[in-house]
Chain A
Amino acid sequence: MIRKPFGVGVAMTVLLGTGTAFAWTQGSDKPVKFRLVASLSSLDWEQTTNLRDMKVWHQMYEGLYGMDEAKNGYYPELAKKVDLSKNGLVYTITLQNGVKFQNGDPLKASDVVFSYRRAMKNPRFNYLTSMITDVAAVNDGTVKVTLNKPYSPIAHTFFCVKVLSEKEVTGQGPKFGTIPNKAGTGPYCASNYTIATGLKLEAWSGYWRGAPAIKNVEYVVIPDDTSAVIAYQNGELDYLEDTPLSAWKDVSKAAGDHGKLIKGNNIMFMAVNYLSPGHKALANQKVREAIFYAVNKHDINLAVCDGYGMEATQYMPSEYVPASPSTGFKTYAFDPAKAKKLLAEAGFPKGVDVGAIMTYGTSTSNNAKMAQVLQANLADVGINATVSVAEAAIVTPKLYNQDYDICVFSDSGNYDYNNIRQQVHSESKGMYVIKYQGGPFDWKKLETLCDQGAAISDTDKRRAIYTQLWSLVMDSATILPCLHRPVGVVWSKRLDIGQPVPTYYKIRTFSLK
C-alpha cells in the first residue's frame, strides 16, 4: 500500500522521461505542414465565403484569374486572353492551352460554363455574380461572359469563382465536397480529408505549369494560438500565418530570416449610425465629427496589435488596391480639444450619452479590444458609451438593419471596388452598415461615383473617382478606418517561400532547401 503512490510516480516518470524522444519524420518526403485555425468545412469551394477555407481551396482549384498580392493583384490564370466588347458588357475569354483537370481530362469551356452557372445559383455568391446575365461556350477553348452593366471590378469575380470539372462534380453528386476529388486544375489535389483533423494534399504531376516542388502538404487543425506557436517552434509546423502578435517578438526572434510582418489587407473600422434608433444625438454631424476626432488610433494599435499595426486612413490599402486613393480626403487626426469644441457647438458642452459600441466576436477578440479603447477615448472627451459584444450571427443583422449606435467591424480589402460598393451603394441589398440612401448626404452622387468607378477600367481615372467618393464618405463622419492589422508569417528553415504575402500564398511557388 505504501509503495503504490511511488510506483505510480515512477511509472509516470518512466513513461514521460525514458520514452524515446519524439522523433519527427525527416527527409524530403516529410509533408510540409500548415495550420488550420478551425476545421475545413468542405472541399467544395462553394460552401462558404470564409477566407480561411478559401486559402486552402486556392491550392486545389483555379479561377479564370489568379491573385498575386506581391504584384498588385489579379493576373490571367486559366484565362489566356480577355477581350471586352465596346459597350463593356461582353467578356470573351480564351482559355489557356494544355490545362488538364486532376482527373486527366482537358479543361473545356463547358466546364467553365458549368462552374459559373453553379455559382450563379448559389445565393451566397450573389455579390460576385449578380452582374452576370449569361455565361456561354463559344467553342471548347472560348467562353463568353455577358454582364447586365459595365463592371470593371469583374476581375474579383473571375478570381473567386473556381473552375471545376463538370464530370467530377456531377459524378460525385451530393458527396462532392465531403470526400477527396480531382475536380480542380490546381497544383494539388486532396488525398485525405477528415473534417475533424484536417486535409492532406499531394502534388499533381500533370499540373499545366509543371509539377510543384513540394510533393506532400498537410493542413492540421490547431485552434489555439499558443499551441500553434509551440508547434511551430518545436518543428511540428512548417508555415504559420497570423502568428499572434503578442508572441511576435519571441517567434520572429526564433524564426530569424524566416519570418516577416506584412501589412495586412484587413482594416478595422468604426461606424457611427446617424439613424441610431435610441440616440438622436448621433444624427448631429458635429457629434459624429467629435467622435471621429476623439479616436486615438495609436491606442487602438497598442491594444489590438501590440503596436505592430498601422494606423489606417484609407478604406483599402493602396499597396493591394492600385485604384485606392491614399490622399485627397479628410482623415480626422486625433484631436480631443477639437472633439470637445465640436461637442459644445452641437449643444452638449457637458457631454453626451451615445449608447453602445457594438461589435462581434469574443470578449477578448480584436474587435472587442478596439471597442474598449474607443469607449475610453470617447469618455475622455465627455462622450459616454457602453460596449456590447456578441456572436457575429447576432450582431451582423443588427448592423445591416442600422439597429445600433456605434459599431466596430473588420473587412478585408477585396483588392478592388467591391468593398466600397458593398458599403455605400443602395443596390448592395442589406450589406451596408450606414444607410446613405435617403440620408442627409449627397447619396445620389455617392452612388453615381460608385457606378462610374465600376464602369471605367483605367486605374488613374478610377482613383480620381474614388477620391471624390471617399471624400464624401469621410465628410459624412460615418465610417472611420482605424487600423491595418499586420499579418505575421513565419516558416521553417527547410522552406523557401519567396516573397511572403498576407493572404493568398501559393504552395506551388514554395520549395525545400
Chain B
Amino acid sequence: MYRYVIKRVLFIIPTILGVVFIILLTMSFTPGDPARALLGVAAPQADVDALNHQLGYDLPFTRKYVNYVENMIVHQDFGTSYFTKQPVFDEIWPRYQITIKLAFLGVFLAAVLGIPLGIYAAVRQYTLWDTIPSILAFMIAAIPAFVLGMVFLFYFSLKLNWLPSYGIDTLKHYIMPALAISIPPAAMNMRFMKSSMLESIRQDYVRTARAKGASERKVIWKHALMNALLPVITQIGLSLGTLIAGAVVAEKLFSIPGIGSLIVDRISYKDEPVIIAGTILIAICFTVVMLIVDLIYAWIDPRIRAKYARTKG
C-alpha cells in the first residue's frame, strides 16, 4: 500500500512537467508578445524587442522550458509577473487558498446535499420523495452556476440584504458563491447516488443480508451504501477539479479574488509566469485529490485492500 502511495505521489512530477510543457507550447503559438501588451501599441519596436529580451520571451522554446523547470525545482522560483512586477508566488498563493477553500466548500455542500437525497430517493423509489427530488435534480443540474449566482445575488443581496454582494472577507461572503457552484454538482451527486444505490440494493448480498434477518437500517447503511458509494466518490473527486477550474464564474460574479479569474485576466497580457504557475497549482491539487479518492476507494472496498495485501505478501 505504501508503495502504491509513493508511486502515486511521484506521479505528480511528470504531471507538472507535462503541464509546464503544454502551457509553454500553447502560449508560444498564440499571437502577440508580453512587451507589446505591457508597453502599449505606441511604443517603438526597438523598445518592445529589448523588453522581450529582458523578460526572456525571445528565447527558443526548449531553452525557456528548461529555464522554467530549473528555476521552479532548484530555486523554488516561479518567476515575476510581467504585468505587476511582483513575484508570482506572492500573487498566486493568497488567491489559490481562496479558490481551494471555495472549491472544497462547494464539493462538501454538493456531497452533503446530493448524497442523502440520492439515498432517500432510492429507498423510497416511486414515491413523491423520489419523484420530486429527481425532477428537481434533473432541472437544477441543467442550470449554469452563473444563473444561480445571479438569482442568489438578486434575492439574498439586493432584495433581502442578508448577504454581501462582493468580496470574500467573512464566512457570509462564501455562502452565495459556494451554493452557486455546489448546487449543480449536488444534483449530479443525487442522481449518481440514487442509481448506484438502486443497483446496490438489488444485489444478491443485500437480499442475503435481509434473509439473515438484518434490520433494514443495517442493510441500507452497512451493506448497500458502502458499495454504492464507490462511483459517487469518483464523481465527487472529479467534480472538485471541475469546481476549481469552474469557480472562475463565481469568482467573477461575486468579485472573489481567486486563481481562476486571475489566470483568465492574465491571458490577455500573455503573463506566462502567472498562467503557468497558476495552472501548476491547480494540477497539483487535482492530482492530490485523485490520489485521496483512490485511497478512500481502497479503504471502503475490501476487495482493493485485499488485492494490495496480496501484492505486499
Q: B residues near A, CB below 8 A?
A: 31-32, 36-44, 47-48, 83-86, 91, 94-95, 112-113, 116-117, 119-120, 123, 150, 153-154, 156-158, 160-167, 172, 175, 217, 220-221, 252-255, 257, 261-262, 265, 268-270
Contacts and interface: CB of A to CB of B under 8 A. Distances in A.
Pairs A-B, 5 closest by C-beta atoms: A196-B257, A123-B47, A393-B32, A4-B116, A123-B43
A391 B220 CA distance: 56
A227 B158 contact: no
A509 interface: no
A226 B151 CA distance: 11
A210 to B, nearest CB: 33
A174 B85 contact: yes
B167 A227 contact: no
B172 A22 contact: yes
Contacts of B157: 230, 234
A220 B116 contact: no
A237 to B, nearest CB: 9
Contacts of B158: 230, 233-234
A332 B41 CA distance: 30
Contacts of A429: 42, 44
A21 B150 CA distance: 20
B119 A223 contact: no
11 contacts: A1-B116, A17-B162, A123-B47, A195-B84, A223-B255, A223-B261, A226-B253, A227-B153, A393-B37, A397-B36, A422-B42
A5 to B, nearest CB: 5
Q: How large is the interface on A (under 10, 10 to 19, 20 to 34, 35 or more residues)?
A: 35 or more
A174 B87 CA distance: 12
B257 A221 contact: yes
Given A1-B221, A5-B117, A233-B158, A178 B84 contact: yes
B120 to A, nearest CB: 6
Contact of A227 (B83, B85, B165, B270): B165
A195 B167 CA distance: 13
B172 A197 contact: no
A163 to B, nearest CB: 22
Contacts of B85: 42, 47, 174, 177-178
A394 B47 contact: no
Contacts of B175: 15-16
Contact of A224 (B41, B252, B262): B252
A72 interface: no
B270 to A, nearest CB: 7
A225 to B, nearest CB: 11
A49 interface: yes
A430 interface: yes
A392 B90 CA distance: 28
A221 B255 CA distance: 6
Contacts of B220: 1
A400 interface: yes
Contacts of B257: 39, 194, 196-197, 221
Nearest to B83: A41
A378 B120 CA distance: 61
